[in-house]
Amino acid sequence: MRIIAVTAGKGGVGKTTLTANLGVALCQLGFRVCVIDANFTAPDLAIHFGFSPETTIWEVLKGKEGLDNALYEHACGVHIIPGSQDMEVATNRETYKRLKRKMRKLKYDFVILDTPPGLGEDARAALIPAKEVLVVATPEWTSLANAYRAMLFAQQMNKQVLGMVLNRASAHELEPNPMMVEHVIGTQVLATIPEDIHVRKSVSLQNPVCLAYPNSESARQFRKVAHYLGGLPWHEKLPWWQRLFTFVGKV
């Protein structure tokens, strides 16, 4: 079972969006997948999937419920363990160690953990249950600097950093491109997800973009990351109308 934490060193860059869509995309490739909201302070993974859970990971960690009771299956097949809206949720290294122990019961090909924002104690502790880490950043130097520090923390904790996902890219001339990012940060850029209204619409629809708008470029890029994680060759072509636009753009 591969346990992958999604981290960023910054809030609002797309960790939860990536977690939700990777869950869906890996599931669509035939893998058994569970996504866990390990962002205990501001959990919103369940919202991306459109449900308000009664039992959450917090009841499990408090020993009030078994892990099975906090597992929800989405129509697409992905399993979700949601976070709690309870204001009293305490997060520290012990909490994440307990989560790691509870996760031993799980039997999936992939478990993807959404993690808290920032570079504080809880954001670092959230990496404890994972063996591998994906870093998300927007193509701005502030976000990249935080992502770089998050990557260093992960490496110090002996986690394998799989690479970076650039999110909300607009191809603006001032924006660092993936090659620059790879050179400066020192890890591979697995995909560049554009700033895409379909992502915002899908969050409002509470249905990940890979399901709500499977033909959008962002959905395609999420699938690209899923192929990489699954060790599968990536040869999905752009739809004909997008290839036409690209061709016309070059003429």
Ligand X SMILES: Nc1ncnc2c1ncn2[C@@H]1O[C@H](COP(=O)(O)OP(=O)(O)O)[C@@H](O)[C@H]1O
CA 62/CA 106 separation, integer angstroms: 18
CA 196/CA 182 separation, integer angstroms: 23
Q: How far is the CB of 134 from ligand X (least distance, A)?
A: 12
Q: How far is the CB of 76 from Mg ion (least distance, A)?
A: 20
Binding residues for ligand X (CB under 6 A):
8, 11-17, 117, 167-168, 193, 195-196, 199-200, 203, 218
Question: Given phi > 0 = left and psi -120 to 50 = alpha, else beta, which region is 158?
Answer: left
Residue 182 binds which one of Mg ion, ligand X, none, with CB within 5 to 8 A depending on kind? none
CA 209/CA 201 separation, integer angstroms: 8
Our finding on whether 7 is near Mg ion (CB under 5 A) is: no
* Strand 79-81 versus strand 72-73 pairing type: antiparallel
Number of residues forming the site for Mg ion (CB under 5 A): 2
Residue 193 binds which one of Mg ion, ligand X, none, with CB within 5 to 8 A depending on kind? ligand X
Nearer to ligand X, 67 or 207 (CB): 207
Nearer to ligand X, 67 or 123 (CB): 123
Q: How far is the CB of 63 from ligand X (least distance, A)?
A: 28
Which residues in the 13-42 window bind Mg ion by CB under 5 A? 15-16
Residue 138 binds which one of Mg ion, ligand X, none, with CB within 5 to 8 A depending on kind? none
Residue 126 binds which one of ligand X, Mg ion, none, with CB within 5 to 8 A depending on kind? none
Q: Got the DSSP string for 105-173?
A: T---SEEEEE--SSSSHHHHHTTTT-SEEEEEE-SSHHHHHHHHHHHHHHHHTTPEEEEEEEEEE---T
User: Within a 10 A sphere around the Cβ of 62, how many other Cβ atoms?
Assistant: 13
Residue 225 binds which one of ligand X, Mg ion, none, with CB within 5 to 8 A depending on kind? none
Q: How far is the CB of 109 from ligand X (least distance, A)?
A: 23
Q: How far is the CB of 5 from ligand X (least distance, A)?
A: 13
Q: How far is the CB of 209 from ligand X (least distance, A)?
A: 8
Nearer to ligand X, 67 or 84 (CB): 84
Nearer to Mg ion, 218 or 227 (CB): 218
- Cβ neighbours for 31, distance < 8 A, ≥ 6 positions apart: 108, 109, 110, 230
Which contacts qualify for 94-97: CB closer than 8 Å, 24 or more apart? 95/40, 95/61, 95/125, 96/38, 96/125, 96/126, 96/127, 96/128, 96/129, 97/128
What residues line the site for Mg ion (CB under 5 A)? Answer: 15-16
